[in-house]
Every structure is written in C-alpha cells, then in structure tokens.
C-alpha cells in the first residue's frame, strides 16, 4: 500500500477556488489552475478583474522538466490562462543549476 494521498485521492488536496466572503460582498475570490504534476500554473482573482478600473493581479507560472518554478508573471490572463507579453505588469525568470541553485535571475519590473 502506497502513501494515502496517492492516486485518485490526491486530486482532492488541490484548492481550485478560495473565497473570503463578507456580509455584503467578497473581498477576494481566487481561482487556481494546476498541471498534471500538481504544479500551480495560474491564479486569478475574480473580484479585482470585475472592478470598474481593473487591477490585473492574475499570475501565470512556468516550470522546468524537474517541476521547478522557472518563470512567474503578473498581469491579465487570457482565455488560455497565459499572460501574453503585452499584458504583463511584472515577471521573474530563473535559470536553475542541476542542484537547484539560481544560475541566473531576471526581474521584469513594471
């Protein structure tokens, strides 16, 4: 018998959506997307997207073949849950050595 969270039970550990309700309205309403290896690939906040003047705080993440985070971008997600370069407000890119140390780091500031 393997670990109790392997197989079909593991999918229930992920949090696809978190809402923090208030008596009158939501303050935040996060939704998440995951790849097959349970890496979080995107995050969106429906409350900020629905504001009259939208605040684009969506995030998209990229991983290498070893499931290590190598890119993170903030901006406005498209229908494919990606943030095109024109919609990016901020980003970070890492190059990692085989042992996981940062070889290079680049900040794509606002």
In a domain? residue 96: yes
In a domain? residue 1: no
Sheet holding 69-75, edge to edge: 17-21, 26-34, 40-45, 58-63, 69-75, 88-96, 102-108
Domain extent, residue 70, equals 7-108
Number of domains composing the chain = 1
Model pLDDT, residue 21: 60
Query: pLDDT in tens for each of the 110 residues of the chain?
Result: 444 445 554 555 566 666 656 556 666 778 899 999 999 999 988 777 666 666 678 999 999 999 999 999 998 888 899 998 888 888 999 999 999 899 999 998 75
Model pLDDT, residue 59: 93
In a domain? residue 75: yes
In a domain? residue 2: no
Model pLDDT, residue 73: 94
In a domain? residue 63: yes
In a domain? residue 98: yes
- Give the domain CATH number at 15: 2.40.128
In a domain? residue 102: yes
Model pLDDT, residue 53: 64
In a domain? residue 77: yes
Report the C-alpha gap between 49 and 96 in whole angstroms: 33
Model pLDDT, residue 37: 93
Q: How buried is 107 (Cβ within 10 angstroms: 0-12 exposed, 13-18 middle, 19+ buried)? A: exposed
Model pLDDT, residue 29: 79
């Amino acid at each position: 018998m393997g670990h109790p969270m392997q197989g079909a039970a593991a999918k229930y550990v992920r949090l696809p959506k978190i809402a923090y309700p208030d008596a009158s309205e939501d303050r935040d309403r996060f939704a998440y997307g995951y790849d097959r290896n349970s890496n979080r690939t995107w995050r969106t906040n429906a409350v900020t997207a629905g504001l009259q003047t939208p605040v684009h705080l969506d995030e998209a993440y990229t991983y290498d073949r070893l499931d290590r985070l190598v890119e993170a971008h903030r901006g406005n997600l498209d229908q494919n849950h990606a943030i095109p370069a024109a919609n990016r407000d901020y980003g970070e890119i890492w190059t990692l050595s085989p042992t996981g140390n940062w070889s290079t780091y680049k900040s794509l500031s606002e």
